[in-house]
Amino acid sequence: MRKRDLAILMLSAFAIFFSLQHEGDFSFREAWFHLSDDYPIKYETDRLPPPIVSDLNGDGKKEILVATHDAKIQVLEPHSRRVDEGFSEARLLTELSLLPDKTRVATGRRAVAMATGVIDRRYKEGQPLKQVLVVVTSGWSVMCFDHNLKKLWETNVQEDFLHSAHHREIAISITNYTHIII
């Protein structure tokens, strides 16, 4: 046996011993859950964006934003009980419909991407940071909502893409930077 092989064997034995000694340093506690009837997913095109954990209104409490297959965004409160008491179901605070006001056709209104962020440039120390929610739908609509989930604006960007184009991956970047083109 070569010295190099012996050194690798000794290092591996030490790594295994060290990892077994510190096995219980991390622990996870059950905190909350949210049930959904939308799983398992049958088709990849039915996949919803992942939930977002964010403090929308700046009150210091995190909310969870979850998209649903019926073109809604649900805002959940994760801890309605103490964490020490085990699992508790996340409480529904409010629900936002992505459907247009006058019509109730859900085609093209399912959320495919969501993001939250701060756009206010005039932040002052001690003032709560209020965030916006931006949602992109399967029909190429981009919607922006304030911290109270009031729609600020909506635009459709479908004409910027080929007619046969479909969503594969979408990234949303929210910034307070304003770009002026001259």
Task: Look at the domain 44-160 and name its fold.
Answer: Lipocalin (2.40.128)
Stated pTM of the model: 0.72
Q: Indicate the domain borders of the chain.
A: 44-160
Q: How does pLDDT run across 49-83, given as a tens digit for each residue?
A: 899 999 998 888 889 999 988 889 999 988 755 55
Residue 69's pLDDT is 85
* Own/partner long-range contacts of 51-56 (Cβ < 8 Å, ≥24 apart): 52/114, 52/115, 52/116, 52/133, 53/78, 54/116, 54/131, 55/129, 55/131, 56/116, 56/130, 56/131, 56/133, 56/147, 56/149
Instruction: Return the higher-pLDDT residue of 86 and 3.
Output: 3
Taking the C-alpha atoms of residue 72 and residue 97, their distance in angstroms, rounded to an integer, is 4
Percent of the chain clearing pLDDT 70 (strictly above): 77
